[in-house]
Structures are given as C-alpha cells and as structure tokens.
Structure 1
Amino acid sequence: MAMTDEELFLASMGDVVPLAKSNQAELAQIKVEPTIAQLEKRKAAEQALSLDVNFLSTEYVDLLNPHDVLAFKKPGVQEGVYKKLRLGKYQIDATIDLHGRRFHNARNALFEFIVDCHSSNVRALLLRHGIGLNSKPVPAILKSYINKWLQEIPEVLCFHSALRCHGGNGSTYVLLKKNDEQKTQTKEIYAKR
C-alpha cells in the first residue's frame, strides 16, 4: 500500500528534534548611525524648507492658449483704475523678463520681484513672460502659471495683458497695492484738504 504525502513527510521528519530555547540564535538589532554627509544634507533641507517663504503654488494649473489675454481684477478695484492699467496709461516703474527661465527659477524671481517692488513703493509693473508657443511639455506653461501666481499674491490688485508696444500677449501689466508708507502719505494729503 502506498503512503500518502502526509505519512511520507511524518516518516522523514521522525528523527528531527526541535531546538531548545538555549540553542536559538539571537539576532541583534544593528543600529546604523547616519554619516556626517547625510546629517548635513538633512540639516540643509530643513533650513531650505524653513527659509522658503515663497507661497506660490506649484500644483495643477489650468492651461491657457499661448494667445490668450490675461485679465484679472480683485473685488473693490475701481473700473477706471483697471481701464487705465488695461490701456497701458500707468507709468511702468519696474520690469522683469522671465523669458526662457526654468520653472522654479521663474517662480522665485517673480515672487522676489513683487515683494521688492511692493516694499520699494513701486506700483505699476511689466512682466515679460512670452507666449510660450514652443515651451515644453505643453505650450504656454509659464504664461499659465504667471496667471495663477499673480492671483495668489495678496499685493496684486489687478493685471492685464500688455499693449502690442509693450509685448502684447507675451507681457502683462501688474498694479500693486499701496504699501503702508504710501497709505500714510495718501491719508495726510486728503487730511489737509
């Protein structure tokens, strides 16, 4: 009579003796300390995160057509002010050229430019970003992010694509809020009347 698989297994394992507790091998936890280079990288990354005050998002963006007109006005901005900006009638006090910059470089440059202009009492800006016909991976990626970023910055009152003489749809006029010093000056002027 043939033996079943279970009977064969038990027959072959009949002389095997279980290990006693004292015979068990003990595996010690080996704790590996990070190297000095790894510790320095961690420290640098933590510092970079804590120092980065740039809140402009790098998340999903609604893609624009390269020839789209950028137009945005916060609630409360007077139509006359917006029309004057749209028609290029404000004196442009500062300009930045973001053509050909890499994404993160353009993001940082735009943020720093706006912060510097606001703190220096500069209100009317011109951003040159191009229309992005040949940008990769999709056309107008920088222009699309410029549109999103300008809406995220609290100091920006309104913006509009520029006139042809200032770069057309590849450039944008931006009007910033008055900073505290300018507000005080305006209050003093109107208080004297």
Structure 2
Amino acid sequence: MRRTTPLKALQDLQDLKRTLAQAREEAAAQAAAREAERQRLLHEQQLFTRTVGPVTPLVAAIRAELKRAKPSPEPRQREQDEQQALRQALSDDFDVDSLLETDEALSFRRTNISQEVVRKLRRGHWSLQGQIDLHGLRRDEARESLGEFIHHAARTGMRCVRVVHGKGNGSPGREPVLKARVRRWLVQKQEVLAFTQARASEGGNGALIVLLQGAS
C-alpha cells in the first residue's frame, strides 16, 4: 500500500483551502449582487412613492359573462321568392280595357268599390303617402319596380300613392309607352282597390292616383 508523504499531504490541504476560499468568495459575490438588486428596487419604489404619492391597489373587478343575443334570422329566401313572384305576376297581355271606366280619366275600381270612392280619389280625399316615378325605365325595370313599390306600400300601411308614368312626350311617335302598361299592371295587383288619373296639379295625364287596401 502506497503511503502519503508529509509533503503530499500538505499540498492536498492547501488545495482544499484554496477551493473552499474560492467557494466562499463566489457565494459572497452572489449575495452582494442580490443585495444590490434589492437595494435598487427599493430605491425605485421609494422614488415612485415620493413622486406619485400614496397609492391604493385596485380591487380585482368581478365581471359577469353576458351572453350575446343571436341576430334575428333574415328572411332572404322569402324575400327572393316574393321578388320572383312580383316579376312573374304582372303580364303585359292582360286585357284591361274592359275594366276601365269610360270617362275622361279612364279610372278603375274593384267590383266591391263604389263609384263614390273613385270620385273621392279624384278629388284628393286621401293624402298622398308615397310615389314612384317610372320615367326613364325600360319596360321590365318599370314592371318590377312598380310591383315592388305597390307591395311595399300596402305592407307598410299606405292607402294612397301616386304612380308617375309620364306623358310620352319623349317617346317615339310621342306615344306614352308606359301609360297603358302601368294601368294593365295595376289592375293585376290585388293590393290595388282603385285608381284614377291625377289632377293637373299632381301630374295630370302623366300620373295615376292609386288607392290601396289597408294592411291586415
């Protein structure tokens, strides 16, 4: 067995002392760094307090989770169906001449509407609640626009409206292209109870005053 000499034992002891000393120095350096950081934070907190003054910590708010109401469904398909029905319902081939009163205004009334109602309509008994101007529209555009207007007016409770079709002064041959068609289309609308030519102050022979049934 190899024996340790006194010189070797002395060297090992010195190495151990140096290792312990280094460990103590590193521990002291780490402690000093932690203390320096603590002092820095304390200094910043004191500086903030001196600058701002006393503060009260906010109490954590208790918030209720509210359920958002779902948006109401939009009846888009029904609206598309109604628009399609409007386009298909009005025919240009409908014979309206036999249904018109043979007076100077070529008025129209349903069988359950008295002649007195037409006279009142002609005299302006009902106030105008809306109007549509079909000037400048092509036939299909005018037919669709008129159908949608009458449908909307009746649904929203309008009773008396004006339909402006023009006098035909700008049409080829100065013939009122829309005039006859508008009368034909109106007769086919169930919402229409009666109509008559407008008075001179309301458009004369370039417009019709239309009486609608009330919204149910």
Query: Is the shorter-chain TM-score for this pair beyond 0.5, marking a shared fold?
Result: yes
Pairing of 1:18-37 with structure 2 (within 5 A)? none
Please say if 1:56 is aligned against 2:90. yes
Amino acid at match of 2:93: E
The CA distance in 2 between the partners of 1:52 and 1:95, in whole Å, is 22
SS at match of 1:69: coil
- Which position in structure 2 is the counterpart of 1:144? 180
Amino acid at match of 1:58: D
C-alpha displacement of 1:49: 9.4
Bigger Rg, structure 1 or 2:
2
- Which position in structure 2 is the counterpart of 1:184? none
Q: Which has the higher contact order (CA 8 A, sep 6+)?
A: 1
Which digits, 9 at most, give the CA deviation of each residue in 1:110-130, with x for residues without a partner? Answer: 000000001000010001111
Structure 1: 5+ residue runs without aligned partners? 1-47, 181-193
- 8 Å contact 1:70–1:169 — kept in the other structure? no
Pairing of 1:1-193 with structure 2 (within 5 A)? 52-54=84-86, 55-59=89-93, 69-136=105-172, 139-180=175-216
Structure 1 residues 62 and 154: alpha-carbon distance in aligned structure 2, compared to 1, 3 A threshold? closer
The CA distance in 2 between the partners of 1:56 and 1:160, in whole Å, is 19
Given the two structures, how large is their TM-score scaled by the length of structure 1? 0.60
Structure 1 residues 166 and 50: alpha-carbon distance in aligned structure 2, compared to 1, 3 A threshold? closer
SS at match of 2:119: helix
C-alpha displacement of 1:99: 1.1
User: Structure 1 or 2: larger helix share?
Assistant: 2
C-alpha displacement of 1:70: 3.4
The CA distance in 2 between the partners of 1:175 and 1:60, in whole Å, is 20
Given the two structures, how large is their TM-score scaled by the length of structure 2? 0.54
The CA distance in 1 between the partners of 2:207 and 2:113, in whole Å, is 21
Structure 2: 5+ residue runs without aligned partners? 1-79, 98-103
SS at match of 1:174: strand
